[in-house]
Structure 1
Amino acid sequence: MADSLFELLVPHFTSSDGSTAPQSPSQSATTAQYLNRISTLSLQALKSTEPQSLAQASHSTVVSLQALSNRSHKSFVTSADHLSTLRTSIPKLTREARQLRDAIPKLDEEAVGFSRTYTKTAENATLERRKKAMQLARNVDRLSDILELPTLLSTAVSSAAANSITAGASSSSTYSSALDLYAHIKRLQTLYPESPLVKDVASQAEEAMKDMTTNLITGLRSQNIRLAAAMRMVGWLRRVAPELDGTSGECEAAGALGALFLICRLASLVSTLEALEPLRDLADQETQRRSNNVEKEQGSTTGTNLWSEGHQTEKYLKRYIEIYREQSFAIVSLYKSIFAPDHSSELELAGVVGARGIDAALRAKTLSPQQPENTLDPLLAHPSPLSTFPTHMVQLLAETLRTYLPNVQDKSSRESLLTQVLYCAASLGRLGGDFSMILTELSDLDPDSEDSASYEWEEVIRKHRALAGRLEQLTSGNGPARSTARVTSPIH
């Protein structure tokens, strides 16, 4: 039925717009379905409702096609492009598949050769480098910690040096942390002596320790150092530079460190005394005026004494002796508290009851032909630093007195200064370094004076002993007041 109807309608399919005829029912199921539907409609329906239904369906189809083209035109264009290149892509894919098939045997041979070359049992430089790289990657955290050790050590040393002015607990803990880091680095150097990395870290740590040693030595030269701070610094120096604390034979336990301590404290004393430079300049001016006055007196026939000054020199010597007394006692007491000498008579030997014995000992050592220096036994222990230090201290004071004391012509002022020297000698004498006989060697202080300085010194000692005897008599009957029997230095 559908075929007959199709043959009947074929002449009417050709239209003026040139559209093609639909396919036959045998070729298209849609055509067969529509022709079967037409056969069921009446003639009135075919004339009235069917054209309207076809127009509505056509319009709906056109709208749907427009919406689809608006929504998916890019996909249509891409599909069209791909479709246009499909003729060339398929042959190219075929050629590349053939090449891949031909390369598979060669790839298999290369894989077998690689497996044979880089097996775990074979010795290969590339494998060794890879193993080292993998080991380095696994231990990168440990290596970074080791590399940070010199930086941490330098930071600890610099921060401790910055905080050393206050000498607080923070500085102590920081120096202790720095020493612990240095000990850890030395332990690593002992465990891995052939490692270039550890050697480099150790060399940087040595530089940091040199800076720490410099800071500690500078700290020992600071003003008014306390016993606790000095003991901490000496303890740190013993750990940083153990070679300074070496002992040999019966040498003192302080070693070179004791000499270093005395040198630093002596430098501090000298710098403190140099602060008196304005007063010393005035005293030098009085010395120059006194020298000029002496020359005028020698050239004058009248012989009148025109020199009656010396007040500035008196001020300078008073302040000088006060600083000398305080600092010398502090230096020796700190040394004995820190280093604890083994021989109790070392300082007494250094004192030698005064400058007369010191000068005699020096002359005997340098001028005596019967005991040349080369005959000394080289195996004997070196003397302790404290055995020669008071000699230098006494010479320092003696030179100052020899230079400036002749400027003071007033008898009471000279007695006051000599009394200060006496108290200074007594203060140091409590530690075994009494030099109360020092001025007996200064008889040439003022050759033009009728009274020699040695006699003045004897008079001062005689008055001091008389005063001490009276005080002892006054306090002998009063037990609680016995502690006041000590004679203290007068306040000038």
Structure 2
Amino acid sequence: MADPLYELLAPYFDSPASPRLVPSVQDQVTAKYLNRLSTLPLASLTSSEPQSLAQSSHTALLSLQSLSARSNSALVASSEHLSSLRTTLPQLATEAESLRNDIPELDEQAVAFSEKYCRNAENEVLDRRKKALLMARNVDRLSDVLDLPTLLSSAISSSTAQGPSNATNYASALDLHSHIKRLHLLYQDSELVNSIYQQTEEAMQEMTSNLISSLRAQNVKLAAGMRTIGWLRRVAPELDGNSSNGEGSLGALFLVCRLAALVSMLSALDPLRDLADQETAIRLRDGNSIKKGTDAWSIGQQTERYLKRYIEIFREQSFAIVSMYKSIFPSGPDTTASDDLGLKFKSLGLRSVSQPTPTPQQQDPLSPLPSALSTFPLHLVGLLTTTLKQYLPNVRDKSSRESLLTQVLYCAGSLGRLGGDFSLLLADLGQDDNDEEGDGHGEWVEVMKKHRVLAGKLESLASGGSVRGMKGLADGRAKSPNEVK
């Protein structure tokens, strides 16, 4: 039905009255409309159908106008692109032909690149790139590792600024040093780790110097000394070598540092010592004429002041050094420092000390050295006796001499409680080189008798509950016999 109807209506197209193209019979819109016309009654073809077509045409016209208003720029651009297709398509075909010709060469280059930079092949450029990528992925870890020497130096500097009593950051510095040592053991071939380890060792050497310097301070308490020695054992384990007394070289180092502190404290008495030297020069110049004069008391007054202060400092510091040493370095099982010290004093014939039977280790001349404390008190006593022999003859007043000798006896008793009683070494101190009567030993015997009487009285006071007397006995303060009475 549609085809005869199409044949009937086709002549009306492309006519002067209606100059339009003839629609194709295969067009779906045309076929659909012809099918619709076949269903309409004849009367509607002249009445309602023209109005319906006019309305549809008007609606389509409005839609086209609205579309052209909205898509004006797109339509213009599409028109321009459509006009340029005549030149673009031939150019695209030419470039596609060129690309097709270049594909074999590109394939050869890709194969060559793949063979050159293969993972299994050794290539310097590829290795550098791999290292760069690895560093980029681990930049945070590298930054933390590079900051380790700075953190270590900061911890050491802050601890040094706080002083030996408040050096709390030394423990953190030691932990950092242990961590860096572990890294060095794990990555010995790494130049970066080796560089960090070298910087760390320099910082630890500085820390070792600071710790040793802290041992030379004047007022080092037992707790601070034990902490410092403990840190030195971790920082410099080579100083804590194997030895029979279990102290290594740290014991000798500790005694040397404390001796330097004692010498520093005694050097503060140089103004008084200069006055005592002047009195010594006067005594040596005038000889025994001072003894017969009327200014025997005034000529030794400055020397007495110097010796009193010297003996007081010596007593306090010597007792503190030896007691602190014994607390920090306990004696070993084979031999003790006090036994060694007693043997040293007995070898001088000064005190009857029970000598233990020498062990095979002690008889062996190649055995490890004894404790440093075995000879240290002898050096201390040598400093004291040298000073007393040099300046004690300047003091001519009997009560002043007895007061000084009594103070020395208290010092010997104080050190004697630690195994270093040197009272018999002082027997020759009372003998004056210019003393014609030779009553120096008699003076010493008299001082010893008075000292024993005073010691007995103090012991009786201590046993009777006198705290004051006990404290005086323990401190060993030097007083003249008249002052004690």
Q: Under a length normalisation based on structure 2, what TM-score does the superposition of the two structures give?
A: 0.71
- Distance, in Å, in 2 between the alignment partners of 1:349 and 1:119 is 75
Question: How many residues of Structure 1 are paired with residues of Structure 2 in the alignment?
Answer: 398
Query: Which stretch of the first structure deviates more once superposed, 430-439 or 86-95?
Result: 86-95
Tell me what 1:331 maps to: 321
1:394 to 381, 389, 404: 381
Tell me what 1:380 maps to: 367
**Does residue 150 of structure 1 match 2:137?**
no
Tell me what 2:192 maps to: 197
- Distance, in Å, in 2 between the alignment partners of 1:203 and 1:407 is 58
Distance 1:203 1:475, change over 3 A: closer
- Distance, in Å, in 2 between the alignment partners of 1:481 and 1:304 is 44
Q: Quick check: 1:293–1:306 contact (8 Å CA) kept in 2?
A: no
Tell me what 2:276 maps to: 283
Tell me what 2:285 maps to: 292
Tell me what 1:465 maps to: 452
Distance 1:288 1:89, change over 3 A: farther
Letter paired with 2:388: L
Helix, strand or coil at the partner of 2:185: helix
Helix, strand or coil at the partner of 1:255: coil
Q: Quick check: 1:247–1:255 contact (8 Å CA) kept in 2?
A: yes
Tell me what 2:108 maps to: 109
1:262 to 255, 261, 275: 255
**Does residue 357 of structure 1 match 2:333?**
no
CA RMSD of aligned residues (A): 3.9
Letter paired with 1:339: F
Q: Under a length normalisation based on structure 1, what TM-score does the superposition of the two structures give?
A: 0.70
Q: Quick check: 1:282–1:313 contact (8 Å CA) kept in 2?
A: yes
Q: Quick check: 1:353–1:435 contact (8 Å CA) kept in 2?
A: no
Within 5 A, what are the aligned runs for 1:69-468? 99-164=98-163, 167-168=165-166, 171-172=167-168, 174-248=169-243, 251-294=244-287, 297=289, 307-308=296-297, 309-342=299-332, 346-347=337-338, 349-350=340-341, 357=348, 377-442=364-429, 444-448=431-435, 450=437, 452-468=439-455
Q: Quick check: 1:440–1:454 contact (8 Å CA) kept in 2?
A: yes
1:489 to 460, 471, 477: 477
Q: Quick check: 1:220–1:261 contact (8 Å CA) kept in 2?
A: yes
- Distance, in Å, in 2 between the alignment partners of 1:145 and 1:224 is 39
Q: Following TM superposition, by how much is the alpha carbon of 1:316 offset from its aligned partner in structure 2, in angstroms?
A: 0.5
Helix, strand or coil at the partner of 2:367: coil
- Distance, in Å, in 2 between the alignment partners of 1:293 and 1:88 is 132
Distance 1:415 1:350, change over 3 A: same
Q: Following TM superposition, by how much is the alpha carbon of 1:442 offset from its aligned partner in structure 2, in angstroms?
A: 3.1
5+ residue gaps in structure 1? 1-24, 30-75, 77-84, 361-375
- Distance, in Å, in 1 between the alignment partners of 2:250 and 2:217 is 17
Distance 1:87 1:403, change over 3 A: farther
- Distance, in Å, in 1 between the alignment partners of 2:390 and 2:173 is 48
Distance 1:490 1:392, change over 3 A: closer
Tell me what 1:369 maps to: none
Tell me what 1:49 maps to: none
- Distance, in Å, in 2 between the alignment partners of 1:457 and 1:356 is 23
Q: Following TM superposition, by how much is the alpha carbon of 1:447 offset from its aligned partner in structure 2, in angstroms?
A: 2.5
Distance 1:315 1:86, change over 3 A: farther
Distance 1:465 1:282, change over 3 A: same
- Distance, in Å, in 2 between the alignment partners of 1:271 and 1:473 is 38
Q: Quick check: 1:426–1:434 contact (8 Å CA) kept in 2?
A: yes
Q: Quick check: 2:180–2:197 contact (8 Å CA) kept in 1?
A: yes
Q: Following TM superposition, by how much is the alpha carbon of 1:140 offset from its aligned partner in structure 2, in angstroms?
A: 2.4
Q: Following TM superposition, by how much is the alpha carbon of 1:179 offset from its aligned partner in structure 2, in angstroms?
A: 0.5
Q: Following TM superposition, by how much is the alpha carbon of 1:473 offset from its aligned partner in structure 2, in angstroms?
A: 5.2
Q: Quick check: 2:245–2:370 contact (8 Å CA) kept in 1?
A: yes
- Distance, in Å, in 1 between the alignment partners of 2:151 and 2:285 is 64
Q: Quick check: 1:351–1:435 contact (8 Å CA) kept in 2?
A: no
Distance 1:148 1:243, change over 3 A: same
Letter paired with 1:130: R
Q: Following TM superposition, by how much is the alpha carbon of 1:406 offset from its aligned partner in structure 2, in angstroms?
A: 0.8
Q: Following TM superposition, by how much is the alpha carbon of 1:93 offset from its aligned partner in structure 2, in angstroms?
A: 8.2
- Distance, in Å, in 2 between the alignment partners of 1:413 and 1:111 is 107
- Distance, in Å, in 2 between the alignment partners of 1:393 and 1:222 is 18
Q: Following TM superposition, by how much is the alpha carbon of 1:152 offset from its aligned partner in structure 2, in angstroms?
A: 1.2
Helix, strand or coil at the partner of 2:196: helix
Query: Which stretch of the first structure deviates more once superposed, 267-276 or 96-105?
Result: 96-105
Q: Quick check: 1:444–1:452 contact (8 Å CA) kept in 2?
A: yes
Distance 1:449 1:93, change over 3 A: farther
- Distance, in Å, in 2 between the alignment partners of 1:349 and 1:128 is 66
Residues 98-149 of structure 1: per-residue CA shift (max 9 Å, x gap):
6555433322322233234434444444433333332232222222222221
Q: Following TM superposition, by how much is the alpha carbon of 1:321 offset from its aligned partner in structure 2, in angstroms?
A: 0.5
Distance 1:413 1:475, change over 3 A: same
Q: Following TM superposition, by how much is the alpha carbon of 1:257 offset from its aligned partner in structure 2, in angstroms?
A: 0.3
Question: Percentage identity across aligned positions?
Answer: 57
Q: Following TM superposition, by how much is the alpha carbon of 1:357 offset from its aligned partner in structure 2, in angstroms?
A: 1.8
- Distance, in Å, in 1 between the alignment partners of 2:206 and 2:178 is 16
Distance 1:236 1:289, change over 3 A: same
Query: Which stretch of the first structure deviates more once superposed, 323-332 or 347-356?
Result: 347-356
Q: Quick check: 2:245–2:336 contact (8 Å CA) kept in 1?
A: no
Q: Quick check: 2:404–2:478 contact (8 Å CA) kept in 1?
A: no
Distance 1:91 1:404, change over 3 A: farther
Distance 1:128 1:303, change over 3 A: closer
